[in-house]
Amino acid sequence: MLSEYSIDIQKLFLEMMLEDAQSFVRVQNIFNPDNFDATLKEAAAFIGEYSDKYNTMPERDQVNAALGLSLREVPDLTADHQDWFLEEFEGFTRRKELERAIVQSYDLLEKGDYDPVEKLVKDAVQISLHKDMGTDYFDDPRSRLEAIKSNNGQLSTGWANLDRALYGGFNRGELQIFAGGSGSGKSLFMQNLSVNWIQQGLNGVFVTLELSEDLCSMRLDSMMTNTSSKEVFKQLDDVEMKVKLMQKKSGKFRIKYMPAQSTVNDIRSYVKELQIQTGMNVDFICIDYLDLLMPVSVKVNPSDVFIKDKYVSEEIRNLAKELNVIMVTASQLNRSAVEEIEFDHSHISGGISKINTADNVFGIFTSRAMRERGRYQIQLMKTRSSSGVGSKVDLEFDRETLRITNCDEVPDSNMPGGSSIMNNIKTTSTVGESSVSDTMSEPADSGKIVADVQGSKLNSLLNKIKTS
């Protein structure tokens, strides 16, 4: 590429666009009149505005007459000339946009506004023409499907029932959101997912913006070693030995605390530094949780939850794409969801902005009775890669070890009445003074026994009436 883009070169760019309209169309996505020299900026703006308004290029004489220029004819353009133009114009645009980004960054740094700087520079560096022509749908369908099968990076969640609803699990580059009320187990779900993936040999990072690193680590000690959380310190030697043994056959895992109102840039910087210092290739990132992050690209009031969460969720998903990892985070359900047993988009705190961005959204449902029985339910509120929306998945929960595992029962959530858990809740909600356990402990033929007793009393009463 040229080392300098003089006024004559910039003038030649405009002349070639006027000579060959296709050349202008091919660079239209990166065409910016502000990149041209002051003597040519008005002409570039005229060409851009004219083509937008009339859907055709102006004649050379029109431009010269309107602006007092002397743009020349460029005859006998060949394919090689067009290739030169495309390559040089791309380099010219990238350089000018980068120069402008650096100037703007200097002003922002002077004001102490650091967050937008990286985006400005990154956007400028990534400027390019459309060289990738996309996928030819009819060309070699077998190879296309085999490539999808081998390269989509789908990973099992470790819960077979959930995998079945998702057609296999989660994909790299996608954003998964677990939504639940306060104390519903959002952190537990992400920690259990982490354990499942570590045991599959995957490497991951758990970013906590709420719980301490120590508390997260201790929870994982219980889950990894199948030890009651109350017994971890009493069985310290056993826990230590089990963790060290599991290290040999498990993936690498880091737990990192970051303060609330951190940004995606903080997470990106940490992961990059982790990769440089340890050589660790990250497969998944869990962020606990989305609502506590702030956006990088815009300044928003923290109270404007809809806008804040929109930008944060977009930035998290972009990071998942950039790093090619599975991204999992969580979000609060709002107060209207407290008494609900089935969730929809209206129950997500902050509105639908984050749901629109996420690839999969799961509602975490539980109750005191369910927790006592060791049950959780996942409600699929949105799935982008399967038809599982509206289905429900029951999971077992061990209150001692905090481990969430696949449920042996596989309820058919598509059948009328939903899952077994939902049926239990709905039937027990009308029980009066008698408890659920009392009801369930009655023998199946209890109705027959009661009827026989009532019948004998009636016969006795009738006999007394006759004798009297």
What is this structure's pTM? 0.63
Top pLDDT among 429 and 246 is at 246
**Chain center to CA of 65:** 54
Q: Is 303 found in the same domain as 173?
A: yes
**Largest CA-CA distance found in the chain, in angstroms, rounded:** 131
Q: Is residue 435 part of a domain?
A: no
pLDDT(324) > 70 = yes
Q: Is residue 19 part of a domain?
A: yes
Q: What is the chain's mean pLDDT, rounded?
A: 81
Least confident of 145-159, 174-188, 202-216: 145-159
Q: Is 185 found in the same domain as 74?
A: no
Residue 67: per-residue pLDDT = 92
pLDDT(214) > 50 = yes
Q: Is 96 found in the same domain as 190?
A: no
Best CA proximity match to 154, nearest among 289, 330, 283, 267 = 283
Tokens of 311: 């930008």
Residue 426: per-residue pLDDT = 42
What are the backbone angles phi and psi of residue 381, rounded to the nearest 5°?
A: -90, -30
Residue 343: per-residue pLDDT = 66
- 16 falls in which pLDDT band (50, 70, 90)? very high
Residue 126: per-residue pLDDT = 78
Residue 385: per-residue pLDDT = 74
Half-sphere exposure of 352 (CA within 13 A, CB side): 6
CB 177 within 8 Å of CB 290: yes
Residues 405-414 have a mean pLDDT of 60
pLDDT(332) > 90 = no
| 15-53 burial code (b ≥16 CB/10 A, e <16) | bbbbbbeebbebbeebbeeebbeeebebbbebbbebbee
- 424 falls in which pLDDT band (50, 70, 90)? very low
- Which of 77, 108, 125 is the last residue before a domain boundary? 125
Residue 306: per-residue pLDDT = 78
Residues 425-450 have a mean pLDDT of 39
- 149 falls in which pLDDT band (50, 70, 90)? low
Top pLDDT among 347 and 227 is at 227
pLDDT(310) > 70 = yes
Helix axes 7-19, 60-67, angle to 10 degrees: 140
- 346 falls in which pLDDT band (50, 70, 90)? low
Residue 255: per-residue pLDDT = 93
Q: Is 307 found in the same domain as 414?
A: yes
pLDDT tens readout for residues 349-371: 666 777 788 889 998 888 778 87
CATH number, domain of 79, equals 1.10.860
Sign (positive or negative) of CA dihedral 73, 79, 81, 83: positive
Residues 247-251 have a mean pLDDT of 89
Residue 421: per-residue pLDDT = 42
Q: Is 117 found in the same domain as 177?
A: no
Q: Is residue 269 part of a domain?
A: yes
What is the span of the domain harbouring residue 181?
Answer: 152-418
Tokens of 340: 């609900």
- 50 falls in which pLDDT band (50, 70, 90)? very high
Q: Is 156 found in the same domain as 121?
A: no
Residues 449-468 have a mean pLDDT of 53
pLDDT(217) > 50 = yes
Residue 435: per-residue pLDDT = 37
Q: Is 175 found in the same domain as 308?
A: yes
- Which of 373, 397, 418 is the last residue before a domain boundary? 418
- 429 falls in which pLDDT band (50, 70, 90)? very low
Residue 282 CA to residue 320 CA, distance in Å, equals 11
Residues 208-229 have a mean pLDDT of 91
Percent of the chain with pLDDT over 70: 81
Q: Is 170 found in the same domain as 116?
A: no
Q: Is residue 451 part of a domain?
A: no
Q: What is the 3-state secondary structure (H, E, C) of the chain?
A: CCCCCCHHHHHHHHHHHHHCHHHHHHHHHHCCHHHCCHHHHHHHHHHHHHHHHHCCCCCHHHHHHHHCCCCCCCCCCCHHHHHHHHHHHHHHHHHHHHHHHHHHHHHHHHCCCCHHHHHHHHHHHCCCCCCCCCCCCCCCHHHHHHHHHHHCCCECCCCHHHHHHCCCCECCCCEEEEEECCCCCHHHHHHHHHHHHHHCCCCEEEEECCCCHHHHHHHHHHHHHCCCCCCCCCCHHHHHHHHHHHHCCCCCEEEEECCCCCEHHHHHHHHHHHHHHHCCCCCEEEEECHHHCECCCCCCCCCCHHHHHHHHHHHHHHHHHHHCCEEEEEEEECHHHCCCCCCCHHHECCCCHHHHHCCEEEEEECCHHHHHHCEEEEEEEEECCCCCCCCEEEEEEECCCCEEEECCCCCCCCCCCCCHHHHHHHHHCCCCCCCHHHHHHCCCCHHHHHHHHHHHHHHHHHHHHHHC
Q: Is residue 172 part of a domain?
A: yes
- Which of 85, 106, 125 is the last residue before a domain boundary? 125
pLDDT tens readout for residues 85-143: 999 999 999 999 999 889 888 888 888 777 778 778 878 877 887 766 677 778 888 88
pLDDT(419) > 60 = no
Residues 11-16 have a mean pLDDT of 95
Torsion of Cα atoms, 28 then 30 then 35 then 40, to 10° = -10
